[in-house]
Amino acid sequence: MKNNIKVQRAIHDFTQADLATKIGVSRQTINAMEKNKYVPSTVLALKLAKLFKVNVEEIFQLEGNE
C-alpha cells in the first residue's frame, strides 16, 4: 500500500512530530508509515483522513496484487 502522508503533512505544514502528537502516535510511527514500512490500523487511517479533511482513499492507495 502506498500513501501520500508526507505530501498531506507538507500541505498542512506539520512536522512528523506535530502529526504524531495530533493523532496520538510516535514520530517513529509517522516515519514508518511514510516509508511504507508500517500499515496503519483502520482507526489510525480514519484519524489521518479526518485531520487532513480528505477521504481515506486520498491518502492510501492499494498497489498491484494487494
Interacting residues of 42 by C-beta distance below 8 A, sequence separation 6+: none
Residue 64 in domain: no
pLDDT, position 33 = 97
Q: Please report which helix (H) or strand (E) contains residue 9, including its range.
A: helix 5-11
| Residue 33 is assigned to a structural domain of this protein | yes
Q: pTM higher than 0.85 for the full model?
A: yes
Per-residue pLDDT tens over the stretch 24-38: 999 999 999 999 999
Domain span at 17: 2-51
Tell me what pLDDT residue 63 has: 84
**Is residue 25 situated within a structural domain?**
yes
Distance (Å, whole) CA 66 – CA 51: 26
pLDDT range class, residue 65, cuts 50, 70, 90? confident
Q: Which three cell numbers stand for residue 58?
A: 486520498
65: in domain? no
Residue 42 lies in a domain: yes
